[in-house]
Structure 1
Amino acid sequence: MNYRFDYTLDDAARIGAAIGGALMAGDVVALSGDLGAGKTTLARAMLKARGLAGEAPSPTFAIVQPYAPPEVDLPIAHVDLYRIEDERELIELGLDDYLYDGALLIEWPERLGEGGWPEALLLAISGDGDARVLTAVVPPAWGARWPL
């Protein structure tokens, strides 16, 4: 199913919290959009929904920022692929390992190339300023628990 939402930055916390609350082990959420679109803002709201009390740093330089209990109630890796130049570099990240008991939040998923996860929840953000558009491609695995 495809969904389209107009929202403001004030709505981002509510949207991210709803999606984050529905996350389960094995889930991949792919966040795409231009620089400054709000990908990290949504990811932070998802992490907060899972119990993260502090500020989640952007994983731009670390590439993978893992979170584990008791910091959150579900292990989650927040991934930023912006600096990945060759999809062969992805093998070294071991992203599949996070899916055994946790979830992945991936910014810049287009850097995955032909790889990736066919059952990923795809969230594309467009717009600028305070007015944004979120387009969600919801796979069958999310059908009954899609919160929006």
Structure 2
Amino acid sequence: MHRVTIPTDDRMRALGRALAAELRAGDLVLLSGGLGAGKTTLTRGLGEGLDVRGAVTSPTFVIARVHPSLSGGPALVHVDAYRLTGLDDMEDLDLDVSLPESVVVVEWGEGKVEDLSEDRLEVRIERSAEEGDEVRTVTLIPYGERWQTGALAEVAAAAAV
């Protein structure tokens, strides 16, 4: 587990770009945090780092958006699971089909999509309790063999600069 303090939206996108450098096809990333915590902002940075087509915006009303790579890398599948009740609803999205060739990022996925892969990265974002404060604490929690490389320590260190 790695924890980093992120003071601004720009730094949150930078964290996403740094994390994207470590992602590859087949990776599952679960984002959790309250409304306005920065989940979509982090995903924008992931999209920039993965060099995908299209503006990364919240998929709340469409549930999932696919952003193809512009440079031959994996596509980014961005899912908002807020209105979904569990893995049965997620199966309708065919994420298990997309996962091997894409990076799948699921907002609000905790308790719903963990069974898609034993190897996953959970990213928990907590806002400061101070009104108007943009400071967030981001915790990166790796699960499975895939994430035992030590790369997350480097991502967290780079984001803390």
Global fold match (TM > 0.5): yes
Name the residue aligned to 1:82.
82
Q: Give the root-mean-square deviation of aligned CA atoms.
A: 2.0
Offset of residue 71 of structure 1: 7.0
2-side partners of 1:47 and 1:39: how far apart?
Answer: 12
2-side partners of 1:72 and 1:84: how far apart?
Answer: 31
SS at match of 2:21: helix
Any idea what the Cα deviations from partners look like across 1:92-138, whole Å, max 9, x if unmatched? Answer: 11111112211101100125166343211010000143111001112
Instruction: List 4+ stretches of structure 1 deviating above 4 A.
Output: none
Name the residue aligned to 1:142.
147
Distance 1:101 1:52, change over 3 A: closer
Same amino acid, percent of matched pairs: 31
Asked whether 1:103 is paired with 2:108, we answer no
1-side partners of 2:73 and 2:114: how far apart?
Answer: 31
Q: TM-score, normalised by structure 2?
A: 0.82
2-side partners of 1:141 and 1:87: how far apart?
Answer: 22
How many residues matched? 147
2-side partners of 1:67 and 1:88: how far apart?
Answer: 24
1-side partners of 2:53 and 2:116: how far apart?
Answer: 30
Residue 132 of structure 1 is aligned with which of 121, 129, 136?
Answer: 136
**How is 1:51-70 mapped onto 2 (pairs within 5 angstroms)?**
51-52=51-52, 54-70=54-70
Q: TM-score, normalised by structure 1?
A: 0.88
SS at match of 1:100: helix
1-side partners of 2:20 and 2:114: how far apart?
Answer: 26
Distance 1:85 1:51, change over 3 A: same
SS at match of 1:26: coil
